A and B are shown apart, each in its own frame.
Chain A
């Protein structure tokens, strides 16, 4: 075989003086890094630095280091580019990777700071005073209807246009990740957590497994171009339906779940044969216009008894005009996915070079919908690298109603961002269908960790709101006056609708 030019990215170091020779590392590694011949022998080239072996080594004798192999300095040709060229010269393949865009583009969230009350307008202590995070996902009425209560007062009229909204206990939901790309135990963990938290999980495009039926009131079911696993039964069960047009990690391209990941259960849920590739075409072939999108939105509404229908798009250059069309087409929410959003598999060239940051997209869409007087007609869900409650608060201040988190949920379940989901060998049992790996996630354990995470972020959001002197997350939504920019250029500040700090 030809010698590869691509040297290992990592060095697996074992302190053999401490090593128990127990073989735990051999058993834990999903990538087959270790051989065992009286003691574990690592093969560096297979290591993805996922730290599964490091975490579970009873002797704590393993460490993973960067391969510091020196190259002559070259700012133009990074080592990553060299490796990509060599890999493609060897294989002729499109380079496939996963998770979100890791490139050093400016992170706008990190250039935004929030306001706080001092002296003139008192801040609020959320531990001792009411602090409302409850959020309604869906179309809001143009005006509020009231009715006489018969005693000289008024009450909100029956329905009052809010009937088709979904109540969320906190403005954080779980982003779509399909069963197939992640394991069923991950889906179970997300669904159980969503129910406990009073929020929503999202099936992604792989259909709704029957084990999730008990949690159906907390589930968004996706309708993507592959139309996997969709029938009136599951449309009738989900709390809301979502048309997936695009994904931040791979705008404009389809999905492709390799045949290796289509086992019996995945096949039954997607309703496709085992072992064949599950191909989602790049476009929905019944959507070539906003009018066609409207047709699909209302087809789903007709078929589901008029449940809320959202539309998920990747944040791209013309996102504001597209979002306006989506709202006018009748969507109950617009889901914007920024270019740092994760994926179970995407060509690296697409993931790293297409799309725009979510911060820009939220501000542009919120402003456009306000300018057109249709902001009330749909909620905005923002995703694509919401990394903390601070990001969530800033996204809401920029104009989002709700944020969706995906990568953060996987981190909670053990993900170490090794960007290898597409291999199907996840050592943490998350993005794999191998039974010996998927059983590593106990859904009860997973649900507890996810619940902890969202509770923690929600408490932090309450603290932020308290500092801002407001007692409901609604008061922060689109309140860009409560944001200031540090180190952003004038044009970016203008697009964001945010003043520089000091003004």
Chain B
């Protein structure tokens, strides 16, 4: 079988970025990359090269929407700092690294992620945590549509997504496992409801915690809505503490709010839909 050796290395401009390796400076175990105007392929190659060369922190400056930061990266004990706006599919398929975004992140953060942690010091876009089966994603502010969609847990792998602001429609749609939390404390949309419609539509596993209330019409038919119990809150607390520590917030103050718990009424929501012929 023939195989690709590596990325094709054409030069020139692609989608408004230069196909050139970013300037790299090395300070001990910290590699500093200037991503200004650099295409994602060359940027990601440089990140992988820096980690292969022993860097435990990769600091990226001038980040401006480059896609796939840390995509498919298998590395533990490594932190990638992105200063600027992280692009679509940040940490997609990632398995282990810590990615901290000092700015906003675009769509698809933590898409199909296996393990590791993403911290976004800003807002994040749509389909955050799609199909995620492990690791943690913490967002300081608001998130978009279809966040936490089809998250799934397996044995010891339990994905956790905590969003500090508000969310749009289809929050936790098809959710099959994991913990999805919406706090509503850091938002630029104070007039908007905490969460949009179709919340947990098709949900058949995992749990959603909302700091506040939700109307039944906002939720999928498969969702059971209850007030979080003391037991639920004690399970939630370490995650809230992790979020609070990441963003310098007060965990007790957050926990003092009232939490609504959404959980599926069945692990087999469509079990009786069919008749065999």
Contacts and interface: CB of A to CB of B under 8 A. Distances in A.
Interface of A: 83-84, 87-88, 90-97, 159, 162-167, 217-218, 225-227, 230-233, 235-236, 239, 256, 258-259, 267-268, 271-273, 275-277, 279, 281, 285-286, 295-296, 298-299, 302-308, 347-348, 420, 422-423
Nearest to B7: A306
27 contacts: A90-B275, A94-B274, A167-B2, A225-B150, A226-B131, A227-B130, A227-B131, A227-B150, A231-B114, A231-B133, A232-B72, A259-B267, A268-B154, A271-B157, A272-B177, A273-B154, A277-B204, A277-B268, A279-B204, A281-B150, A285-B150, A286-B127, A302-B44, A303-B93, A306-B6, A422-B274, A422-B276
Contacts of A227: 112, 130-131, 150
B149 interface: yes
Interface string B192-221: 000000000010110000000000000000
Given A96-B277, A232-B74, A273-B177, 11 more contacts: A90-B275, A233-B74, A273-B153, A273-B154, A276-B176, A277-B267, A279-B270, A295-B108, A298-B67, A299-B67, A306-B8
B71 A87 contact: no
By Cβ-Cβ distance, the 5 closest A-B pairs, closest first, are: A303-B72, A93-B275, A227-B131, A91-B275, A96-B274
Does more than half of chain B's interface fall in helix, strand or loop, or is it mixed? loop
Contacts of B154: 267-268, 271-273
B269 interface: yes
B146 interface: yes
B33 interface: no
Interface of B: 1-8, 40-41, 44, 67-68, 71-74, 88-89, 92-95, 107-108, 111-112, 114, 127, 130-131, 133, 146, 149-150, 152-154, 157, 173-174, 176-177, 202, 204-205, 267-277
A299 B73 contact: no
B124 to A, nearest CB: 14
B71 A303 contact: yes
Contacts of A281: 150, 174, 202
Contacts of A164: 2-4
Contacts of B271: 258-259, 277
A87 B272 CA distance: 14
B272 A93 contact: yes
Contacts of B40: 302
Contacts of B94: 232
Contacts of B174: 279, 281
Contacts of B2: 162-167
Contact of B93 (A87, A163, A231, A271): A231
B118 to A, nearest CB: 15
A6 to B, nearest CB: 9
Contacts of A273: 153-154, 176-177, 205, 267
A271 B112 CA distance: 12
Contacts of B177: 272-273
Contacts of B273: 93-94
B1 A299 contact: no
A285 B146 contact: yes
A208 to B, nearest CB: 14
Contacts of A233: 74, 95
B268 A259 contact: yes
Contacts of B272: 93
A305 B6 contact: yes
A235 B68 CA distance: 15
Contacts of A236: 72
B112 A230 contact: yes
A277 B68 contact: no
Nearest to A332: B4
Contact of B73 (A91, A232, A268, A306): A232
B95 A231 contact: yes
Contacts of B5: 159, 163
A240 to B, nearest CB: 10
Contacts of A232: 72-74, 93-95, 114
A267 B274 CA distance: 23
Most buried by A among B4, B133, B204, B271: B4
A493 B150 CA distance: 45
B68 A166 contact: no
B68 A302 contact: yes
A277 B150 contact: no
Contact of A306 (B4, B153, B202, B270): B4
Contacts of B88: 295
A279 B89 contact: no
A226 B150 contact: yes
Nearest to A84: B277
B269 to A, nearest CB: 7
B233 to A, nearest CB: 24
A276 B153 CA distance: 11
Contacts of B268: 258-259, 276-277
A423 B274 CA distance: 11
Given A230-B93, A276-B204, A285-B146, A302 B270 contact: no
A159 B71 CA distance: 26
B70 to A, nearest CB: 10
A163 to B, nearest CB: 6
Given A299-B68, A302-B44, A87 B277 contact: yes
B68 A286 contact: no
A24 to B, nearest CB: 26
Nearest to A217: B1
A306 B9 CA distance: 12
Most buried by A among B202, B272, B273: B273
A225 B146 CA distance: 14
A303 B47 CA distance: 13
